[in-house]
Amino acid sequence: MYIKTLTIQGFKSYRDQTAIEPFSPGHNVVVGRNGSGKSNFFAAIRFVLSDAYTSMSKQERQSLLHEGVSTAQTMSAYVEIIFDNSDNRFPTGRETVILRRTIGLKKDEYSLDKKSASKGDVMNLLESAGFSRSNPYYIVPQGRITSLTNAKDHERLALLKEVAGTKVYEQRRVESLKIMEETDAKRSKIAELLSYIATRLEELEGEKDELKEFHNADRERRCLEYALYTRELEEVASNLEQALGL
């Protein structure tokens, strides 16, 4: 995997669309006078591949847009990187992978292979290929070597984890454990609810039996009342006939 083409437009000192290619799969050297755009060249790569430009204010976004002598204001900028993926470092199954990030004063959009994508999707794809999100070791700015030699042991260990890609899995492990804890808590609540439902069903079953007994007793009562009423009616009718001499 290597960068085949880098296209920049409206980003920092790159006003017009500039396609930089071809890149060698081996080593590439960028040379130029001071102010020729070397730093902005690397900044453009970091703009797409790292977390260096996130959660920016309006002023910070404005600072990324080209500001030249022209009166026309640049409203948006984009950087597009085309990777050679013949080794399938990106698990997409395609020979090339195209990543683009477009930024404006009110927008920050990503695209993957010419299709709109979320930042999370792009970052997950980069991490799957070994690009560290929080510590882009693949770009070594001035002062990084000095800071590494002066770093503490735990800081060097953290960097090694970043380089090896194990920190990503540790973070995923923590996230998975958190999800498992939340799942266990939900299962516990569901178990409590099922226990309450079972207890309530037993109570309702008892109430159903009592209600059934009540209905049976009530039916017997009504039958007895009807029998007594019929008997009394017959006796009254008989007495009435005797009184009338019938």
Domains of the chain: 2-133 (3.40.50.300)
Residues 38, 226: Cα–Cα separation, whole Å: 108
Pair 1, 126: CB distance under 8 Å: no
Alpha helices in the chain (DSSP H): 38-49, 58-64, 119-128, 144-149, 153-164, 166-243
Question: Bridge-partner residues for 20, per DSSP?
Answer: 6
Q: Give the sheet arrangement for strand 115-117, strand by strand.
A: 18-20, 2-9, 76-84, 96-104, 108-112, 115-117
Query: What contacts 90, CB < 8 A, 6 or more positions away?
Result: 1, 83, 97, 125, 128, 129
pLDDT digit of tens for each residue in the chain (246 aa)?
899 999 999 998 888 898 998 898 888 888 888 878 888 898 899 888 887 777 787 788 888 887 765 546 678 899 999 999 999 989 888 999 999 999 988 888 999 999 999 988 888 888 888 776 655 666 776 677 788 788 888 888 877 776 666 666 777 888 899 999 999 999 999 999 999 999 999 889 888 888 988 999 999 999 999 999 998 888 888 888 888 775
Residue 194: the pLDDT is: 94
Determine whether 206 is exposed, middle or buried from the number of CB atoms within 10 Å of its CB (0-12, 13-18, 19+): exposed
User: What is the pLDDT at residue 72?
Assistant: 61
Backbone angles phi, psi at 84, to 5 degrees: -80, 120
Q: How far is it, in rounded angstroms, from Cα 115 to Cα 22?
A: 24
Confirm whether pTM is higher than 0.85: no
